[in-house]
């Protein structure tokens, strides 16, 4: 049985060690916790990781070297990857006790640009989404994070918005196109490519449509979180039931079945959403592609 109290205390100790290490370092200007360990809505459980943001004048040091992570505990492994937006870097660390920590490394200049409104709207929204659900300030030597907390609510007021007709049609066209693309790889005998086409490309487009579908059925401020988080709680039961058949095993017949089921489910939620939005669904293209699939598969 998992000892929840012990796990939470272990993360608390790790945070304490981080603050002791970071506070005297002149290049680290601010640090905060975001994600489930900082938010009130759906807070951390015993399986949650720790998401930490480090604001520094020397980001390269923490990207190119890994020795510094030993100041917080005993790491089993560590590696680098890009943040969700791809603009910055984050160091992932797995400590003893299976404590997983994500250190997002932000340059001071990026925070200044955010405060001055000099970032792209997309980048602003990514920061707002990451921080807006909750932030726990650990260090704030220059008042950077206090200012961030002040401006975040105003950024999120106009979001989310319904897709434009062009955006909506773009997702549908992308899905239909890659349905054919996936089928061709399957017919060629490239099962790996076909399966990743369904389980990766098509599923991501399905998620985008599920978000719009849920918001269209409720209201556009209806919370669909991000990247499928808590999908089991915000989508409807019929969609959840149909979703089970849309992922495929590494098997030719199962891949055929999953592809047809994916198209059927996508068609339903997309047409329901299009009616709510007053947009057109490309029925002729769908019909032609469906007939082609049935003929070959």
Nearest Cα to Cα of residue 26 among 139, 165, 138, 127: 139
Which carries the bigger pLDDT value, residue 87 or residue 150? 150
Q: What pLDDT sits at residue 116?
A: 67
% of the chain exceeding 70 in pLDDT: 91
Q: Which CATH superfamily is domain 165-296 in?
A: Nucleotidyltransferases  domain 2 (1.20.120.330)
The answer on pLDDT for 131 being more than 80 is: no
Q: What is the DSSP string of the chain?
A: ---HHHHHHHHHHHHHHHHHHHTT-TTEEEEEEEGGGT-SSS---TT--EEEEEEES-HHHHHH--GGGGGTS-EEEEEEEE-TTSSSEEEEEEETTTEEEEEEEEEHHHHHHHHTT-S-HHHHHHHHHHHHT-EEEEEETTSHHHHHHHHHHHHHTT-S-PPPHHHHHHHHHHHHHHHHHHHHHHHHT-HHHHHHIIIIIIHHHHHHHHHHHHHHHS-TT----STTTTHHHHS-HHHHHHHTTSS--S-HHHHHHHHHHHHHHHHHHHHHHHHHHTPPP-HHHHHHHHHHHHHH-
Q: What pLDDT sits at residue 86?
A: 56
% of the chain exceeding 90 in pLDDT: 71
The answer on pLDDT for 108 being more than 70 is: yes
The answer on pLDDT for 122 being more than 50 is: yes
Rounded Cα–Cα distance for residues 277 and 143 (Å): 43
Nearest Cα to Cα of residue 121 among 97, 154, 83, 168: 154
Domain ranges of the chain: 4-156, 165-296
Q: What pTM was estimated for this model as a whole?
A: 0.82
Q: For residue 43, report the phi and psi dihedrals to the nearest 5 degrees.
A: -70, 180
What residues form DSSP beta bridges with 140? 30
Q: What pLDDT sits at residue 158?
A: 46
Q: What pLDDT sits at residue 17?
A: 97
Find the range with the poorest average confidence among 40-49, 213-222, 226-235, 274-283.
40-49
Q: For residue 88, report the phi and psi dihedrals to the nearest 5 degrees.
A: -130, 180
- Mean pLDDT value across the chain: 90
Rounded Cα–Cα distance for residues 90 and 80 (Å): 6
Query: Which CATH number does the domain 4-156 belong to among 3.30.365.10, 3.30.460.10, 2.40.50.100, 2.40.50.140?
Result: 3.30.460.10
The answer on pLDDT for 89 being more than 90 is: no
Summarised one tens digit per residue, pLDDT across range 36-63 is: 898 888 888 888 999 999 999 999 999 9
Q: For residue 33, report the phi and psi dihedrals to the nearest 5 degrees.
A: -100, 135
Which region, left, alpha or beta, applies to residue 140 given φ > 0 means left and ψ of -120 to 50 means alpha? beta
- pLDDT class for 30, splitting at 50, 70, 90? very high
């Amino acid at each position: 049985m998992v000892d929840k109290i012990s796990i939470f205390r272990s993360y608390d100790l790790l945070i304490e060690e981080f603050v002791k290490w970071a506070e005297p370092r002149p290049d680290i200007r601010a640090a905060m916790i975001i994600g489930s360990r900082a938010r009130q809505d759906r807070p951390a459980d015993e399986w949650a990781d720790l998401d930490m943001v480090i604001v520094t004048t020397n980001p390269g040091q923490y990207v190119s070297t890994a020795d510094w992570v030993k100041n917080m505990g005993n790491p089993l492994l560590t590696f680098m990857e890009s943040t969700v937006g791809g603009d910055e870097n984050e160091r992932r660390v797995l400590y003893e006790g299976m404590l997983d920590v994500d250190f997002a490394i932000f340059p001071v200049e990026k925070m200044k640009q955010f405060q001055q409104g000099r970032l792209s709207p997309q980048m602003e929204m990514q920061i707002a989404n990451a921080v807006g659900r909750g932030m726990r300030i650990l260090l704030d030597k220059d008042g950077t994070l206090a200012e961030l907390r002040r401006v975040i609510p105003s950024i999120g007021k106009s979001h989310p918005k319904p897709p434009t007709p062009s955006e909506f049609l773009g997702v549908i066209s992308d899905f239909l196109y890659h349905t054919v693309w996936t089928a061709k790889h399957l017919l060629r005998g490239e099962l790996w490519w076909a399966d990743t086409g369904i389980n990766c490309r098509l599923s991501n487009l399905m998620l985008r449509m599920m978000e719009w579908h849920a918001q269209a059925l409720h209201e556009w401020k209806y919370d669909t979180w991000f990247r499928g988080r808590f999908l089991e709680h915000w989508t409807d039961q019929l969609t959840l039931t149909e979703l089970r058949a849309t992922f495929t095993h590494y098997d030719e017949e199962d891949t055929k079945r999953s592809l047809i089921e994916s198209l059927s489910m996508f068609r339903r939620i997309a047409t329901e959403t299009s009616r709510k939005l007053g947009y057109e669904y490309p029925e002729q293209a769908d019909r032609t592609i469906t007939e082609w699939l049935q003929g070959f598969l």
